[in-house]
Amino acid sequence: MKQRSVGLKAVSLLSMLFLYGPIVVLVLYSFNAAHLSMAWRGATLKWYAALVHDEALLAATANSLFIALVSTIGATGLGGLIALGMEQMSHRRQQLLEGSLVLPLVIPEVMMGVALMLLFVMFKMPLGLTTVILGHIVFNIPLVTIMIRTRLRKLDPLLREAAADLGADSWQVFRYVSLPLLRPAIWGAVLVAFTVSLDDFLVTFFTAGPGATTLPLKVYSMIKSGVTPEINALSALLLVVSMMCVAGSLYLQRREV
């Protein structure tokens, strides 16, 4: 078996190189002193320093963080409540809801973007931070619901029944039994929702108006207007931030009850 799998291992190694190569190259070049060429001209931090002095970029970062924060709170609340509410529903209803909640995750994001834009324009809602937040909550609700439901299903129903037998009412069962057990899943969902919101481009692209430029929108317009070393530095930073958020979320979800 050993010799037979050498070929497979070689292809796997190449695939891994393929996955990480571009990311590594991007991060390396964010330290390259050369302005336009790809040739290496020594290491520098000046592109990172330039980012700090870019007012528009800082404003976009503030917008992104604000949108991510508000939409995460909204989606975690609404999505978590859906997960809890689904618990007591009939099996058929649960399946129906589960199926419908997958829909927002599979339909092309460009379609979700134009649909929301149409809604806002037709109902005369000015496009801005508010519309972006409304949209981000839409794609984050299913993510939160699915993650919290996964954990809810793993909970031992006996724990809740025991609490109820000991005289706890349904609020007390939730507050003192379910909630503490769900906490890691909730924080995991918060981190995922925050990351997805922070990274979203398409829904934001269609629902943001003037003054609601987010970091991804800014990155997009920078890329469109020409490749510069600043984008490399900004991209490298974004890579590191989202990887940290995901690592945190996975850590929280994997933790034993």
Residues 138-157 that bind other proteins (CB under 8 A): 138, 141-142, 145, 157
Residues 58-77 touching other proteins, rule: CB under 8 A, are: none
Residue 56, C-beta contacts closer than 8 angstroms, at least 6 positions apart: 213, 218
Selected from 84, 129, 155, 159, the binder of other proteins by CB under 8 A is 84
Residue 214, C-beta contacts closer than 8 angstroms, at least 6 positions apart: 60, 63, 64, 67, 132, 200, 204, 208
Does 98 engage in binding with other proteins (CB under 8 A)?
no
Residues 27-46 touching other proteins, rule: CB under 8 A, are: 29, 37-39
Give 32's strand partners: 43
Contact 246, 161 (CB under 8 A): no
Total site size for other proteins, rule CB under 8 A: 88
Q: Smallest distance, Å, CB 227 to other proteins?
A: 7
Residue owning tokens 């330039």: 50
Q: Smallest distance, Å, CB 52 to other proteins?
A: 19
Is residue 43 helix, strand or coil?
A: strand
Q: Give ∠ CA 239-244-245 in degrees, rounded to 5.
A: 100
Q: Smallest distance, Å, CB 32 to other proteins?
A: 11
Residues 3-22 touching other proteins, rule: CB under 8 A, are: 4-5, 7-9, 11-12, 14-16, 18-22
d(CA 201, CA 216): 6
Residues 165-224 touching other proteins, rule: CB under 8 A, are: 165, 169-170, 173, 195, 199, 201-202, 206, 216, 219-220, 223
Compute the Cα dihedral for 195, 79, 142, 131 and give only its sign: negative
Contact 245, 191 (CB under 8 A): yes
Selected from 3, 88, 124, 256, the binder of other proteins by CB under 8 A is 88
Q: Which helix (H) or strand (E) is 40 found in, with range?
A: none
Q: Smallest distance, Å, CB 45 to other proteins?
A: 19
d(CA 154, CA 152): 5
Is residue 209 helix, strand or coil?
A: coil
d(CA 217, CA 56): 11
Q: Smallest distance, Å, CB 211 to other proteins?
A: 18
Selected from 51, 81, 155, 181, the binder of other proteins by CB under 8 A is 81
Selected from 146, 232, 233, 252, the binder of other proteins by CB under 8 A is 232
Selected from 127, 146, 208, 231, the binder of other proteins by CB under 8 A is 231
Residues 99-128 touching other proteins, rule: CB under 8 A, are: 100-104, 106-112, 114-119, 122
